[in-house]
Structure 1
Amino acid sequence: MEIHSKSERWNFQPDLVFDCTVVILKQGDDYFFATSERRETNVNIEDLNSTRIPTENIFPLYQDTLTKFTNIDNGRDIFVKRPSLNAYKGSDLISRTLLQEAQICEQLLASPHENIAHYRGCKIQHGRIIGLCFDKYAETLWERVERGVKVDESCFRQISMGVQHLHKLRLIHCDLKDENIMFRKKDRNDLVIIDFDSCVQHGASLPAKGGPIPNGIDVADFSIDLCAIDRIRSEAVVNGQAE
């Protein structure tokens, strides 16, 4: 058995207090959940009391209506988005979210747009979806700003066009932020919107995971994404990174 991933959980009210370190262990094709009272860097695998995570709670069954990834183009770099098991809390939420994102991506595959990440299909193992495959991109908007590269108006136009395409499909991203916007190349300005695990149909219930919601909004609405674009632009201006 080996450590697959670790992350710290914190309580934010009333003060920021360390809660525990979540540890995901892996043995063969099985995953195990454990917590430790120690900080992440001090976790000792021998001290952990782990429990097996039911496979159906993290990896949904593949459905014939979904696209199966087949790497027919070996020269193209592919990014496999896998579910974050550190968020596991004893339910099948991770599995349901992964399946929902795959279904959303099928809509995007049927109606592609240059400012939306190119989806390639589901990665399947033992009849279950273990990840979603996309073209690999160079860097996020956040990483570009961190490099000190200014963002010009064409970038915001592209973000808006990508969002407009989603909205034409009656989809709300619900988690638009600079970490979910990526550039194809480090030396180019053409970008795509990524990460659709919070994306839902217009009028649907708000996702459990997502970005800030405007006041008075209690279901998925176009204004969520439009306010997010304004927020991204404002933050870039404040940080002196917008031209």
Structure 2
Amino acid sequence: MRVDQSQEDSSVGPNISTKRDLASLCEVEDSVTGAIIRSTFAYVDDQGVAWFGQAHGIRKYDIDVGDLIRLLKRVPDEEVYPLKSASTAIETKLLPRMLLEEAEVLQYLTQHHHQNLIRFHGCVVNRGRITGIALDKYKVFLRYRFEDVPHDLDINACMEGIRAGVKHLHSHGLAHNDLNPMNIALDSDDNPIIFDLGSCKRFGEELLSGGTPGWVDEDYTISAQRNDELAMDKIEAWLVAEKGQRIRA
């Protein structure tokens, strides 16, 4: 499956009016002192053109839109996007390979769909490269559920859905390997939808990336069922703690 978009290239700078337009905004701190080293940020425009920038010694909260526009630099397509029909190791470097592998996993899961896994509609192709993946869209993420939705969350029901989706992956010999509240969306009925399958691989395969700091007990490099089980325990503990804080408040 494929979704073709305009082949016109972007010749102007990033069209940003707020930090919310960014695809990511992160900080890198000194692990010993906690001092800020740099903030990094990324943006992807409507044509699938990627931009990346960094501000040394500045916290992300202190960066304004003018800084973003000035510091964002275009990333060459070949560094982030796989060719539509890549066939050699040279054509599939690390980041393009990760996107291509995620698309392949999602394509497989369309034949083995589960209600708690994101629905895949195909790949977006620009300039002869896969520049995006078309998925169902959700407005609420588990990470911000307590902030964005006023009514209570049934944690047991939520975890039951998460575990059901993960169990389905495991039944096909796949592990997600990067479960965390930012990779789980919620529909209008609070049913959890697992997405971001960039680290999803068959048991025993080597990972290109996996695990988000704070949601893993240790670094791991091999896809395994245990990675998901540990992450789900952490997610459940976090949900209980978050809910408790709001009750006390």
* TM-score, normalisation: structure 1: 0.73
Q: Give the letter for the 1:182 counterpart.
A: A
Aligned pair in 2 of structure 1 residues 8, 191: CA closer, same or farther (>3 Å)? closer
Q: How does 1:151-166 map to 2 (within 5 A)?
A: 151-166=154-169
Q: Which residue of 1 aligns with 2:182?
A: 179
Give identity over the alignment, percent: 25
Residues 1:55 and 2:56 are matched in the alignment = no
What's 2:128 paired with?
A: 127
Question: Gaps spanning 5+ residues in structure 1: where?
Answer: 66-90
Q: 1:170 aligns with which of 170, 173, 177?
A: 173
1:57 positional shift: 0.9
Q: Per the alignment, do residues 23 and 151 of structure 1 end up closer, same or farther by CA in structure 2, a change over 3 Å counting? A: closer
Residue number among 222, 225, 229 corresponding to 1:226 in the alignment = 229
SS at match of 1:227: helix
- Which residue identity lines up with residue 30 of structure 2 in the other structure? F
Q: Map 1:81-100; keep pairs closer than 5 Å.
A: 92-100=93-101
> Quick one: distance in 2 between partners of 1:209 and 1:112?
23
1:184–1:51: structure 2 CA closer, same or farther, 3 Å change rule?
Answer: closer
Paired residues, what number?
A: 213
CA shift for structure 1 position 201: 1.4
- Aligned residue for 1:206, secondary structure, equals coil
Note the C-alpha offset of 1:214: 4.6
Residues 38 and 205 (structure 1), Cα distance of their counterparts in 2 relative to 1, 3 Å cut? same
Indicate yes or no: 2:213 matched with 1:191. no
**Matched residue of 1:106: which SS?**
helix
Q: Does 1:43 align with 2:67?
A: yes
Please give the alpha-carbon distance, in whole angstroms, between the structure 1 residues aligned to 2:68 and 2:234: 41
Distance 2:193 2:224 in 1: 21
Q: Please give the root-mean-square deviation of Cα atoms over the aligned residues, in Å.
A: 3.3
Alpha-carbon distance in structure 2 between the residues aligned to 1:119 and 1:157: 22
- Partner SS, residue 123 of structure 1: strand
In structure 2, relative to structure 1, the CA distance for the partners of 1:29 and 1:201 (3 Å cut) is: closer
Task: For 1:240 and 1:52, locate their aligned partners in 2 and report how far apart those are by CA, in whole Å.
Answer: 41
Q: Does residue 2 of structure 1 match 2:13?
A: yes
Per the TM alignment, residue 223 of structure 1 is displaced from its structure 2 partner at its CA by: 1.1
Q: What's the offset of the Cα at 1:229?
A: 1.5
Whether contact under 8 Å (1:2, 1:25) holds in the other structure is no
Residue identity in the other structure for 1:170: G
Change (3 A) 1:199 1:216: closer
CA drift of 1:134 comes to 0.7
Aligned to 2:117: 116
- Greater shift, 50-59 or 219-228, is seen at 50-59
TM-score w.r.t. the length of structure 2 is 0.71
How many Å apart are 1:143 and its aligned residue? 2.2
Kindly provide the amino acid, as one letter, of the partner of residue 197 in structure 2. F
Deviation at 1:126, TM superposition (A): 1.9
Alpha-carbon separation, structure 2, partners of 1:8 and 1:106: 30
Q: Mind listing any 5+ residue stretches in structure 2 that lack a counterpart? A: 1-11, 16-21, 245-249
Name the structure with the higher helix share: 2
How far 1:215 moved relative to its partner?
Answer: 5.6
Question: What letter corresponds to residue 3 of structure 1 in structure 2?
Answer: P
